[in-house]
Amino acid sequence: MFRVALKSLLDRKLRLLLSTSAIILGVGFVAGSLVFTDMLESGFDKIFSRAVGDVVVRDKAGVGEFGTTTDKTVPASLVADLAALPGVARADGNVSNQSTFVIGRDGKAIGGQGAPGLGLNWNDAPGQGGQPVVSVVDGRPPERAGEVALDTRTAERAGYDVGDQLKLVTSSSTEDQLEATLVGTFEFADGGTLAGASLTAFDTKTAQQLFLGGRDEFNDIWVSAEPGVSQDQLRDTVAAALPAGDVAVTGEQEAADNAEGLGQALSFIRTFLLVFAAISLFVGAFLIVNTFAMLLAQRSRELALLRALGASTRQVFASVVAEAVVVGLIGSTLGLAFGLLLAKGLQALFGLVGLDLAGQSLVVSPATIVASYVIGVLVTVLAAVMPAWRTRRIAPVQALGDTVALPESSLLRRFVGGLVLLAGGVALMALGLLGDVPRAGWITLAGAVAVLLGAAIASPVLGRPLLDGVRRLFSAGFGTVGQLAGENTRRNPRRTASTASALMIGLALAGAVAILATSGKATTATVIEDTFAGDFVIGNVSNQPFSSAVADRVAEVDGVTQVMRQRFGIGSIDGDFAVLGGLDPAGLGPVVKVDVVEGDLADLGPGSVVIDSSFADSHHLHVGDPVTYTLAQGEEDLEVAAVIEPAPLLALPATTLDGLARLGFPQEDATVFVAGPTASVDDLEAAVGDNPFVTVNDRAGLVQQQNDQADQGLLMIYGLLALALIIAVLGIVNTLALSIIERTREIGLLRAVGMTRGQLRRLVTLESVAMSLLGTAMGLVLALFFGVAVWRAFRDDGLTELAIPVLQLSLFAVAAVVVGVLAAVFPARRAAKLDVLDAIATE
């Protein structure tokens, strides 16, 4: 039986290719996501395992949550003390800063779109086990003020060679820009990547000048062990000698901590990518189900013959499932290969948004290979089981009959089942989005999946009126060819509808994203219009803090009446990433309007916070309750002074500027709101100085800046959703190609009685367009439903405006027609190329 299945598979190479294409794409995306994130991880791992000393010494609050540097340091004198300890080979002090950027030749900063710009002091301290961390590639290390060394990748991106003069910006310097000579370039000794971060090295004195206010201190100290001394032994020795308040950590522990912190950031990227991989697989599964249903329908006679020859229903079923396993294996293998290409593509895509991984080689872990095969084979087999089960109802006697049809489930039962699932999904979504239940996200997701599945299952009936309309439209516009195309799409409503369903899912998601994004933009515009009483905003989109000297100078500009600084620190609440804002309460009202729900803003002081009502609801907080932040130095309770309506311009919860500084965060501004109706942009820009990270925006510019930022994120999401659409298009190609094989004789007849090749191509194209129109229509309806439902859920969290992007959704519809036309190209050509005589003679 298995040989029969295998042979019949190989006899249909084209069909095999078509049925595997969905698996290739789906598995490819999973594999690509895994390879890409492994690639990211290995790049960081190399640095983390190398770029730590045997033992690291620092103030116990020297590193904040999520790896942020604080201003807590250790005195320089400690270096010599530690170096003198027994078992210590050497000790080196390190200075570091996470906001130092090189200005490229084109005047733009290198990096800065999320990746840190690391500034540090050069030393040749060895990493764990005495291995060198970095090696000089060209030139020499910086030795005095006015000299810097860069990592090779940053020097390359900026376009500088050793000996060139270059400019830098750093958040902690009061200077606009620093000038320095590039004296050397270096790289990590074993080729680790910084993923877009840049590394700028100064001599120690200059680094202390820039980052530590000139104090002779270090952020941390690396202590290297003498041969034969373990990290634990060394740590114990060092710890015993430390003054109170300082801690010693082994290199292994430090590397693991760093990796864990980063792992959380990377797991977000991995989850993000895997969500799209799951969508691709979900869409791909439709394609596989459809393909197997069609292939089995075409082979019904063959299967009936097998039954007549004595094969049991079990054997026939098993042979179909075996076929699925083979298809799954082939698809997974090709998918894995495609995944490698995709990882390269993702590398380029993420490079565009600042996560530069150039030069990083692909990492294919055994887990990726196993996951690819398991997912590929499992999805294929599950998708094939449904149509395969129906083969059990093929009777042997059908082999002798004229027509053999694979029995199909009743359309009515299917319709009712679909509607029930749809209704259940809507109920789940309502519960998840509007109800107060645990795991609301998962409930909503389950609801959304049920809605999509329900709509897909009910679509053969739901889509009927639309297909009727399309048929009438086609008949009116394209005569007999149009009528034939319309009839053909209604011929097998299940097939047409499930093909269209793949497109429906892609469009539903893209449309919902578009609706939410547009609503977000509209909300932003309204928020700025309604709540920003000032005139200018100084800041940047990437949230790189900048020197507080900027706001000092802006305050002096003619016409400026008030300056409101906003800063933020990073900590965690209940283990979750949490921002702690710092603001100037004097600006609340005159510069940024707020509506107080509870409490009094006058009570806001260094030990208290202002929160918004949605945060208050989700954390069940009232005035006087404590908000507990985990910060570098441990847990800090901040009392709620006031609850206000959501204020998207503010980073909330927020304490005062002093309060933030007291908790150890650097005194650097993230945003400066400026009131000054008569101030001129030119004067403000002159006061801000030449720093590519700091821009001056008026109100319109602020809206624009927010929108641009949203658009960049959207572009990425659309790029990934496009993959789901590509699979959907493949589905149309697949269905058309298979239905043309099925209809070979009919096509021969049409050609014989006078249908020209052009007319035949038009026929196939119209069928394709009909399917894509059906998918688009259902997709847009669901997009509206999803978009509005999610919007409604977030309305109370500040997403106040609902905006339907009519133009964009219309463009999606137009694109769907174009997609339909394009999807038909290959099947139409195949149909037109059929030899009339051969076609008529086909069994």
Partner 1 sequence: MTHSALEASGPPPGAAPAARVANLTKTYGTGDARVVALDDVSLDIRAGEFTAVMGPSGSGKSTLMHCCAALDRADRGQVYVGEAELTSLKDKALTQLRRDQIGFVFQAFNLVPTLTAHENITLPLALAGRKPDQEWYDTVVGAVGLGDRLSHKPNELSGGQQQRVAVARALVSRPMIVFADEPTGNLDSHSGAEVLQLLRRSVDEFGQTVVMVTHDPVAAAYTDRVVFLADGRVVDEVRRPTREVVLDVMTRMTAPSPDRAAD
Applying CB under 8 A, the residues found at the interface with partner 1 are: 479-481, 483-484, 487-488, 491, 745-746, 749-759, 836-837, 840
Secondary structure, 3-state, 342-359: HHHHHHHHHHHCCCCCCC
Degrees, nearest 5: CA angle 127-128-131: 60
Q: How far does CA 301 lie from the centroid of its chain?
A: 48
Q: Nearest approach, Cβ of 833 to partner 1 (angstroms)?
A: 10
The least distance separating partner 1 from the CB of residue 497, rounded to whole angstroms, comes to 17
User: Which of 673, 620, 623 has the alpha carbon at shortest distance from 644?
Assistant: 623
How far apart CA 768 and CA 730 sit, in angstroms, is 11
Please report how close the Cβ of residue 473 comes to partner 1 at its closest, in angstroms. 17
Specify the 3-state DSSP secondary structure of 633: coil
Q: Report the DSSP pairing between strands 88-94 and 634-644.
A: unpaired
DSSP conformational letter for 754: T
Which residues, other chains included, contact 771 with Cβ-Cβ below 8 Å and sequence gap of 6+? 489, 496, 499, 500, 503, 732, 735, 820
End-to-end CA distance of the chain: give it in Å, rounded: 24
* Nearer of residues 264 and 480 to partner 1, judged by Cβ: 480
Q: Which is nearer to partner 1, 10 or 753 (CB)?
A: 753
Residue 94 vs 735, nearer CB to partner 1: 735
User: If we measure between CA atoms, which residue out of 284, 655, 187, 801 comes closest to residue 503?
Assistant: 284
- Nearer Cβ to partner 1, position 233 or 759? 759
Strand partners, 2: none
Please, which residue, 624 or 758, has the CB nearer to partner 1? 758
Find all residues with CB under 8 Å of 192, minimum gap 6, and list them.
Answer: 43, 44, 45, 46, 47, 50, 51
How far is the C-alpha of 141 from the C-alpha of 148, rounded, in Å?
Answer: 7
Q: List C-alpha distances in Å: 107 to 103, 110, 547, 693, 734.
A: 6, 9, 19, 11, 50
For the CB of residue 769, give the shortest distance to partner 1 in the complex, in Å: 17
Opening angle at CA 665, ends 193 and 590, nearest 5: 120
Tokens standing for residue 499: 């093909």
| Rounded least distance, CB 407 to partner 1, Å | 17
Distance in Å, CB of 762 to partner 1, minimum = 11
Is the CB of 490 or the CB of 662 nearer to partner 1? Answer: 490
CB 177 within 8 A of CB 168: yes
Q: Which is nearer to partner 1, 494 or 792 (CB)?
A: 494
Give the nearer residue to partner 1 in terms of CB position, either 355 or 736: 736
| Minimum gap (Å) between residue 295 Cβ and partner 1 | 21
C-beta of residue 516 within 8 angstroms of C-beta of residue 801? no
Q: Is 356 exposed, middle or buried (0-12, 13-18, 19+ CB in 10 A)?
A: buried
Q: What residue type is 281 in one-letter code?
A: L
Rounded to an integer, what distance in angstroms lies between the CA atom of residue 762 and that of residue 422? 35
Of 149 and 770, CB closest to partner 1? 770
How near is the Cβ of 306 to partner 1 at its closest, in Å?
Answer: 25
The residues near 177 (Cβ < 8 Å, ≥ 6 apart) are 103, 167, 168, 169, 689, 690, 691
CA atoms of 258 and 249, how far apart (whole Å): 12
Cβ 362 to partner 1, closest distance in Å? 49
User: For residues 205 and 757, which CB has a smaller minimum distance to partner 1 in the complex?
Assistant: 757
Decide: 486 and 770 in contact? Cβ < 8 Å.
Answer: yes
Q: Name the minimum Å distance from CB 840 to partner 1.
A: 7
Burial annotation 741-768 (CB, 10 A radius, 16+ → b, else e): bebbeebbebbeeebeeebbbbbbbbbb
* Nearer Cβ to partner 1 (470/755): 755
Residue 634 or 754: the one with the smaller Cβ distance to partner 1 is: 754
Min CB(463)–partner 1 separation in Å:
17
Query: Nearer to partner 1 by C-beta: 622 or 829?
Result: 829
Between 549 and 749, CB nearer to partner 1:
749
Output the smallest distance, CB 754 to partner 1, in A. 2
At closest approach, how far in Å is the CB of 466 from partner 1? 18
Nearer to partner 1, 14 or 752 (CB): 752
Q: CB of residue 700 vs partner 1: minimum separation in angstroms?
A: 57
Question: What are 126's two structure tokens?
Answer: 């060895």
At position 717, the amino acid (one-letter code) is I
Residue type, 446: A
Least spacing, CB of residue 502 vs partner 1, in Å: 24
